[in-house]
A and B are shown apart, each in its own frame.
Chain A
Amino acid sequence: MKPYIREKKTFTAAEIPEATAFEAGYLVSVNSGWRSIRPVIDTGRCVGCEQCYLYCPDGVISVQNGKAVIDYDFCKGCGICAKIFRLGAIRTEAEHK
C-alpha cells in the first residue's frame, strides 16, 4: 500500500473540507518533471541488497524478484541511490539529452 494517483477533480468551494480532513494518500500530480538526472539500474549488476530502497528519501525504489525497480513518476533524481551503492549497479544519466 502506498499513496497513488487519483482523479484530479475540481472542487467547488462547498466541497473543500473545512477541517484538514481528507482521504489519506490521495495524489494528483507526479514529481518526474523535477529530474535533471535519471538513475538507471543495471539489473545485471544489482545484487538485491536493498540499500537503495532503504535510503531513497522518496521511497520510489522497490525490490521485485530480487532486483531494484524505480517508479519514475515519483523519482526526483537526487542521485542518493547511485551514491549509496558503490558497486555501480545504478548509474545516472542526463534526463534531457
Chain B
Amino acid sequence: MANSTAERLSRDEFFYGHKACAGCGGALAVRAALKELGQNAVSVLPAGCMSAVGFNFPQLCFSNNSIISTFAGTASMLTGIEAGLRARGYSDFTAVGFAGDGGTADIGIQALSGAIDRNDNIIYICYDNEAYMNTGIQKSGLTPFGARTTTTPAGANIHGNLRPKKNMFEIAAAHDIPYAATASIGYLPDFIRKVGKAAQIRGTKYIHVIAPCPTGWGIAPDETVEIAKEVVDCGLWYLAEYENGEFTLNHRPKDFSSVEAYLKRQGRFKHLDLSDIKTVIEARDRKWAFIEKNFSYS
C-alpha cells in the first residue's frame, strides 16, 4: 500500500535518538523537514528545545551537519552559513533553521527581518509550540489568548494570557518575501510539500508550523498529532501560502469543529469560562472574514 508522502522522503533518519519528550510535535517537524531536504541540509538550531534535546555531547542526534546558534541569531547564522559555503564553491546544499516561537517572534525577529530584507537564500522554519518550553513554559509573542503559562498564570481575576498571538506569517509576508507558508504537524503531508517547495525557490523562505508540546499544553503524549489537526479543523489555525505577492488558502474546513472542545481538552485552557471562549471564537471569525476577503482558495 503506497504512501505518496513517505515515498518522496529520504529513508534515512537525520534526527534520531534525541531526548525530546515522548510525543513532541517539534521533534516530528524537524524530523519530517530533514527527511524532505536530505543529507545536504545544513541545519541551524538556536537555544530552545530542539537544540537542547539534539545536542548533548557526546550524544549528537543529527546525521546531517547541524549547529547551535545564539537564541537571537538563527537567521544571521543561516546567512553566514549560506554565504560561507557558497564562497567555498559549494552549491548543492540547503541552509535551514529550526527556531521556536520565542526564538522567532520575540528575540530572533530582528535577525529574521534582516535576512528577508537581504533576500538570503535560506529556509527558516518556526516550530511553534506557543511558549518558551525549554525554560519551563513562559509566555511568548505566539502564546494564544487565554493560555496558562508560568508567566501568565490563571487566577480568579485574570484568566491566563491576555494578548492574542502575533501574526508571524503575515509579518514575514509583509517583507514581500519570495515564499511564506503556514502548516501544522497534524497535516504532515502539506507541511512536507511546503518544505519541498521552499527548497526549490531562491531567496528567503519562511514556514510557520504548529507543533504541539504535550508537556506545556497539558495533553497526553499520544494526542499531539490529533490536536495539531484539530486546531486547523476548528479554525484557530489555517494552512496558507504567500507567493508573488498573493495569499492562498490551502484548506478550508467545511464546518468548523468545536473551539470549546479543542480548548477544554488541554490543561493550559481548562480555566477558561464561557465569555473567554466567546472572545476566542469572535477572534477566529474576524480572522476568517479577513482570509475570505484577501486570500484566494486553491
Interface of A is mostly: loop
> Which of B21-29, B90-98, B254-262 lies at the interface with chain A?
B21-29
Asked if A23 and B222 make an inter-chain contact with CB atoms under 8 angstroms apart, the answer reads no
Q: Most chain-B Cβ atoms within 10 A of its Cβ — which of A23, A47, A55, A82?
A: A55
**Complex: A50 Cα to B35 Cα, angstroms:** 14
Of B3, B12, B14, the contact of A50 (CB 8 Å cutoff): B3
**Complex: A63 Cα to B67 Cα, angstroms:** 30
A1 and B63 in contact, given A48-B1, A51-B3 (Cβ under 8 angstroms): yes
The smallest beta-carbon distance between A81 and chain B, in angstroms, is 9
Contacts of A48 in B (CB 8 A): 1
Asked if B58 and A79 make an inter-chain contact with CB atoms under 8 angstroms apart, the answer reads no
The smallest beta-carbon distance between A51 and chain B, in angstroms, is 7
Q: Mark A8-47, 1 if CB is under 8 A from B, else 0.
A: 1101000011001011111111110011000000000001
Of A23, A26, A49, the contact of B3 (CB 8 Å cutoff): A49
**Complex: A67 Cα to B114 Cα, angstroms:** 47
Q: How many of chain B's residues have a CB under 8 angstroms from any CB in A?
A: 46
Of A9, A35, A62, the contact of B58 (CB 8 Å cutoff): A9
Asked if A1 and B6 make an inter-chain contact with CB atoms under 8 angstroms apart, the answer reads no
Contacts of A57 in B (CB 8 A): 20, 22-25, 27-28, 31, 224
Asked if A29 and B224 make an inter-chain contact with CB atoms under 8 angstroms apart, the answer reads no
Asked if A82 and B12 make an inter-chain contact with CB atoms under 8 angstroms apart, the answer reads no
Of A22, A47, A74, A83, the contact of B57 (CB 8 Å cutoff): A22
Question: Which residue in chain B gives the minimum CB-CB distance to A77?
Answer: B22
**Complex: A83 Cα to B5 Cα, angstroms:** 19
Contacts of A50 in B (CB 8 A): 1, 3, 6
Cβ-based interface call for A53 (8 A): yes
Asked if A11 and B58 make an inter-chain contact with CB atoms under 8 angstroms apart, the answer reads yes
Asked if A80 and B6 make an inter-chain contact with CB atoms under 8 angstroms apart, the answer reads no
Cβ-based interface call for B147 (8 A): no
Cβ-based interface call for B190 (8 A): no
**Complex: A26 Cα to B32 Cα, angstroms:** 20
Q: Most chain-B Cβ atoms within 10 A of its Cβ — which of A3, A51, A77?
A: A3
**Complex: A24 Cα to B220 Cα, angstroms:** 31
Of A22, A28, A60, A80, the contact of B225 (CB 8 Å cutoff): A80
Cβ-based interface call for B68 (8 A): yes
Asked if B58 and A28 make an inter-chain contact with CB atoms under 8 angstroms apart, the answer reads yes
Q: Most chain-B Cβ atoms within 10 A of its Cβ — which of A74, A77, A80?
A: A80
Of B16, B27, B58, the contact of A22 (CB 8 Å cutoff): B58
Contacts of A54 in B (CB 8 A): 3, 5-6, 32, 188
The smallest beta-carbon distance between A71 and chain B, in angstroms, is 9
Asked if B59 and A2 make an inter-chain contact with CB atoms under 8 angstroms apart, the answer reads no
Cβ-based interface call for B132 (8 A): no
Chain B interfacial positions (CB closer than 8 Å to A): 1, 3, 5-6, 11-25, 27-28, 31-32, 35, 39, 55, 57-68, 188, 220-226
Chain A interfacial positions (CB closer than 8 Å to B): 1-3, 8-9, 11, 16-17, 20, 22-31, 34-35, 47-51, 53-60, 62-63, 74, 76-80, 82-84
Given A31-B17, A35-B22, 7 other A-B residues pairs in contact with their CB atoms under 8 A? A23-B60, A50-B6, A54-B5, A55-B28, A58-B31, A76-B22, A77-B22
> What are 19 residue pairs bridging A and B, where the CB atoms are less than 8 Å apart in the complex?
A1-B12, A3-B62, A22-B60, A24-B63, A24-B64, A24-B65, A25-B63, A30-B17, A54-B32, A55-B188, A56-B28, A57-B22, A57-B224, A59-B31, A78-B23, A78-B221, A80-B225, A82-B222, A83-B222
